[in-house]
A and B are shown apart, each in its own frame.
Chain A
Amino acid sequence: MESLTRVTAATIAVLRVLVDSGEPCWGLQVIKSSDRPAGSVYPILERLESLGWVRSSWETDDSRSGPRRRYYELTEGGAKAAADAVRDFGMRDARQKAPRFVTPMVVNP
Chain B
Amino acid sequence: MSGFARRVVMISAALLPANVRERYREQWLGELRDAPELGIRTSEIAFGSLAFASTFARMTPARRHPSPETVDRRARMSVALTASAAVLAFSQNASAPWSAQTGTDGITAAIGLLWTAITIYVVIAPFAAMVTVFATRGTNGWLRAAVVLLATVCALPISPYINRISMGPNELAYLTLATIALPALGVVVAMIALTVRHRSVRPNADMSSPRIAARLARALLAALVVAAIVGAGFAAASRLWDTRIPLRYGGHKPSAEFDQWFAVKTQVEHSVSVTLALWLVIGIVVAFAVALMASSRRGTLRQTITLLVVASSAVVFSFGSLLSFLQFVLTSIAPSFPLGLGTELAEIGLVIVLLVVASGKRETVSSIPGPAAGLRSNGTRAA
Contact = CB atoms under 8 A, between A and B. Distances in A.
Interface of A: 26-29, 31-32, 37-43, 46-47, 49-50, 58, 65-70
Contacts of A66: 29-30, 33, 379-381
A49 B368 contact: yes
Contact of B56 (A40, A46, A65): A46
B377 interface: no
B71 interface: no
Contacts of B40: 28, 31-32, 38
B363 to A, nearest CB: 16
A67 B51 CA distance: 21
B60 A29 contact: no
Interface residues of B, number: 32
Interface of B: 23, 26-27, 29-31, 33-35, 38-40, 44-45, 47-52, 55-56, 59-61, 367-368, 372, 375, 379-381
A68 B231 CA distance: 72
B132 to A, nearest CB: 21
B164 to A, nearest CB: 52
B55 A43 contact: yes
Judged by DSSP, the binding face of B is helix
Contacts of A26: 31
A72 to B, nearest CB: 10
Nearest to A42: B52
A29 to B, nearest CB: 7
Contacts of A70: 23, 26-27, 30
Contact of B368 (A28, A38, A50): A50
B48 A37 contact: yes
A87 B27 CA distance: 31
B44 A46 contact: no
17 contacts: A26-B31, A27-B31, A28-B38, A31-B40, A31-B48, A32-B39, A39-B51, A39-B52, A42-B51, A50-B59, A50-B367, A67-B26, A67-B375, A68-B26, A68-B30, A68-B381, A69-B30
A67 B48 contact: no
Contacts of B34: 28, 69
B59 A65 contact: no
A46 B379 CA distance: 21
Given A28-B34, A43-B59, A38 B381 contact: no
Given A50-B59, A50-B61, A39 B47 contact: yes
Contacts of B39: 32
A35 to B, nearest CB: 11
Contacts of B47: 38-39
A43 B56 CA distance: 7
B380 A67 contact: yes
A28 B51 contact: no
Contact of A42 (B23, B30, B49, B375): B49
Nearest to A33: B38
Contacts of A47: 59
Nearest to B58: A43
A25 to B, nearest CB: 12
Contact of B372 (A31, A37, A68): A68
B26 A43 contact: no
Given A66-B381, A67-B375, 12 more contacts: A27-B31, A39-B50, A40-B48, A42-B52, A43-B52, A43-B55, A43-B59, A46-B56, A58-B372, A65-B380, A68-B26, A70-B27
